[in-house]
Structure 1
Amino acid sequence: MHTYEHSLDAACSADAVWALYADPESWTEWDGGVDRQEFDGPLATGTTGRFTPSGADPLPFTIEHAEPGRGFTDVFELPGATLRGTHTLTPLPEGGTRITHRVELSGPAADELAPVLMPDITDGVPETVAALARLAADRSLVA
C-alpha cells in the first residue's frame, strides 16, 4: 500500500469545512486539481459521484463513509487498484480545526501505478488544504 497524508491546523470550524466538502460547486474554488465535482445525492455514506481532474475524464467514486462535521472517505476503483481519499476534520481544543487529507493506493497494481498516480494526486494536496482552510475561514467571517 502507498500512502500520503497532510494536515493543517486551520482557524475555522469543522462545520465550515464540511459545508465546502458538501457543496460540489465550491470544489473548483479550493481544489486547483479539479475541473468538476459531482455528487448523485448528498455527501453521505453510499453516495456516488464523479470527480473530474483538470484536463482529464471524469472518475466515478463512492462515498465509503461520511459523518457531517467530522469527514468523509471516497473510494475510486481503478484497474487492479483502489484509491481511497480520507478527509478528516478534528476540532482543536484551543479552537479551529485540524484538516487532514490522506490518500491510499492499494491492490495488486498499486506498485505499478504509484509512481505515476501518487505524485499527480499528492503534489497539490498541501495547497488544496490551505485553500480549503482559507475559504472556510473567509466564509465563516461572512456568515
Structure 2
Amino acid sequence: MKTIASAKITTDVPARAFFERWADMATWPEWNTDTEWVRLDGPFRTGATGKLKPKGGPATRFVITSLVPGREFTDVSLLLGARLTFQHLVTVDSSGSTTVTVEVTIAGPLAFLWTAALGKGIAKGLSGDLARLEAAARTAGVSA
C-alpha cells in the first residue's frame, strides 16, 4: 500500500457536521473540485456501495468499508487492478476542537499506473477540498 496524499484540518466545526456532508454525497461536487457526481446505493453505512464520476475520467464503483459516526469514514474506489482508499479520521479534543485527517492510499498490481495517472492531482487538490468541506460543514448549520 502506498500513500498518495494526506491533509489535516483543526476547526471549531462539530464532527457531526462533517459526517452530514459526507453522507449527502450528491453535494460532494460543491466542495470536491475534481468530482462531477456521486451516487450512493442506499443508506450511508458500512458496506454501502455507489458510483462516482471524476471530472475527465470514467465512472467508478466504490464501497464504504468503515463508518463509525463521529470517528471514521473510509471509502474505497474499485479501479482496474487497484483500490484507491480515502480514510477520513475525526478526533475531538477536550476543548471541543475537531481535527479531520484524510489519508489517500493505493494498493494493487496496477497501483503504479493509477498513481502516475491520479496521484499528483489528488495530492494537489486534497487540502483545498478539505478546506471547502469545512466551509460546507460550517454553513450546514449543525450545532455541537
What TM-score, normalized by structure 2, do the two folds share?
0.90
Q: 1:43 to 1:101 in 2, by over 3 A?
A: same
SS in structure 2 at match of 1:99: strand
Alignment-derived partner of residue 93 in structure 1: 94
Alignment-derived partner of residue 2 in structure 1: 2
- After superposition, what is the alpha-carbon deviation per residue over 1:60-119, rounded to whole angstroms, capped at 9, x for unaligned? 001111112222111122222211111111113222311111111112222233222211
Alignment-derived partner of residue 68 in structure 2: 67
Alignment-derived partner of residue 34 in structure 1: 35
Alignment-derived partner of residue 20 in structure 1: 21
User: Gapped runs of 5+ residues in structure 1?
Assistant: none
Once residues 96 and 28 of structure 1 are traced to their aligned partners in structure 2, the CA distance between those partners, rounded to angstroms, is: 26
Q: 1:14 to 1:57 in 2, by over 3 A?
A: same
Given that 1:18 and 1:68 are in contact with CA atoms closer than 8 Å, whether structure 2 keeps it comes out as yes
SS in structure 1 at match of 2:141: helix
Given that 1:38 and 1:50 are in contact with CA atoms closer than 8 Å, whether structure 2 keeps it comes out as yes
SS in structure 2 at match of 1:123: helix
Once residues 50 and 121 of structure 1 are traced to their aligned partners in structure 2, the CA distance between those partners, rounded to angstroms, is: 18
Deviation at 1:42, TM superposition (A): 1.3
Count of matched residue pairs = 143
Given that 2:60 and 2:79 are in contact with CA atoms closer than 8 Å, whether structure 1 keeps it comes out as no
Q: Which moved more, 1:124-133 or 1:82-91?
A: 82-91
Once residues 70 and 99 of structure 2 are traced to their aligned partners in structure 1, the CA distance between those partners, rounded to angstroms, is: 12
Measured on the aligned residues, the alpha-carbon RMSD in Å equals: 1.8
Alignment-derived partner of residue 124 in structure 1: 125
What TM-score, normalized by structure 1, do the two folds share?
0.90
Given that 1:9 and 1:99 are in contact with CA atoms closer than 8 Å, whether structure 2 keeps it comes out as yes
Q: 1:61 to 1:36 in 2, by over 3 A?
A: same
